[in-house]
Amino acid sequence: MKHFLPVALEHASRLVNHGPTVLVTSADGSRRNVMAAAWSMPVEFTPPRIAVVIDKRTYTRELVAASGAFGICIPGTALMDLTYALGSTSGRETDKFERYGIEARPGPVLGMPLLETGCAAWLECRLISEPHTEDAYDTCFAEVVAAGADERVFAGGHWSYREDNADLQTIHHLGGGNFMRSGGMLRARQL
């Protein structure tokens, strides 16, 4: 996409540190899926690592375990309805990419499906194997190996929410199909 630029890995944690709802993409061979997740966060700066909750009984978790990788796509408000639908349907019975007409491109390092249209940013992630916790916990830890963002909303390592980029401002799930949009940026002054 013409507005997407690579994000330096030292700034990758900034893409999720404000707690947006994310779309987790996964693939293993010809199988693929995309799901919504409300719980993700950075956990390390160097190398950049994140945590995301993916229920161990889901199709996404099955694909992530098989491939050792996943994508994190950060939808803007333009994708709110799609995000809710992706979180409300299972990919085990249907290919959500086909069902919802989702275009994805392969990630630059691991080939994970990444969404750019309607998204503010993406991260391509390599799963960190935690054999002693894989059957016990839904939390997955991963190293970010590549990141990109739409320069109209994230540039120079910082978010910039303005009236002209409202469709790209990130969303936060509040439960029951209710979301709020990030925005209304405030700047602290030096005391």
pLDDT digits (tens, 9 = 90+) for 145-186: 999 999 999 999 999 999 999 999 999 999 999 999 987 777
d(CA 161, CA 72): 20
- What is the value of pTM for the model shown? 0.94
- Please say if the pLDDT value at position 133 is more than 70: no
Tens of pLDDT, residues 60-117: 999 999 999 999 999 999 999 999 999 999 999 899 999 999 999 999 999 999 999 9
- For the chain, the first-to-last Cα distance in angstroms comes to 41
CA 41/CA 128 separation, integer angstroms: 15
Neighbours of 155 (CB within 10 A): 14
**Domain 4-181 bears CATH identifier 2.30.110.10:** yes
Cα angle 181, 23, 40; round to 5:
75
Q: What is the DSSP string of 156-189?
A: TTEE---GGGGGGSBEEEEETTEEEE--------
- pLDDT tens digit sequence for 9-43: 999 999 999 999 999 999 999 999 999 999 999 99
Among candidate residues 32, 19, 7, 10, the one with its CA nearest the CA of residue 121: 7
Per the listing, tokens 């799963």 go with 127
What pLDDT, on the 0 to 100 scale, is given for residue 22?
Answer: 98
Distances (CA, A) of 61 to 67, 124, 156: 10, 16, 33
Q: Domain residues of the chain, as ranges?
A: 4-181
Burial (CB count <10 Å: 0-12, 13-18, 19+), residue 7? buried
CA dihedral of residues 79, 82, 86, 88 (deg, nearest 10): 120
